[in-house]
Amino acid sequence: MLNPPKLPIEEVVFLSTLTRSEMESRLRGLWKAGWSLGVIGSSLSPAVPKTTIHFWVRRAPDVKQLRALPLPPPKSLTTSVPTKHAPRLRSVSPGVPPELKTRLRELSALSKRYRAKTSPTSPLAQANSELTQIARQLKNRGVPTAAIAEAAGVTYRAMARRLSQ
């Protein structure tokens, strides 16, 4: 932040005229009004760390302030009134078609037994390559990796690894 907020000059001058216990009570009032500990501490002369201000504020009695407390700056430095953002529209990603879920489970069960030394013509190797092929087609259609992994009955990480190869 280029210009961090500070307490008004009149308030800083007023704080310098108070006794220590009065000042601590006033700082407590400022804090309860919405001023941050950092702003209060940096506004004092010399500057006081937030931790010290926090200690003072916690132990100070909560007394009624005879002088009006200044209003803290708005939380948003660009507007004084909170603005609502338009809700973001999310696209609904397609899921795994129900007819493919059972096929993915079957292929996954066979692929778990596939090893690198397995013959490329074996049913295990064919199941492994078919599972990879179906998973890539689903991913290209926009189906999330997590949905594919759930349908196949494997972990997300295992399916992500399969799709990345």
Domain positions in the chain are: 9-59, 98-164
What is the model's pTM? 0.47
* Per-position b or e across 59-81, b if 16+ CB within 10 A of its CB: ebeeeeeeeeeeebeeeeeeeee
pLDDT of the chain along its 165 residues, tens only?
A: 567 788 999 999 999 999 999 999 999 999 999 899 999 999 998 999 999 999 999 999 988 888 999 988 776 554 455 556 667 766 677 889 999 999 999 999 999 999 999 999 999 999 999 999 999 999 999 999 999 999 999 999 999 999 998
Determine if the peptide bond prior to 144 is cis (ω within 30°). Answer: no
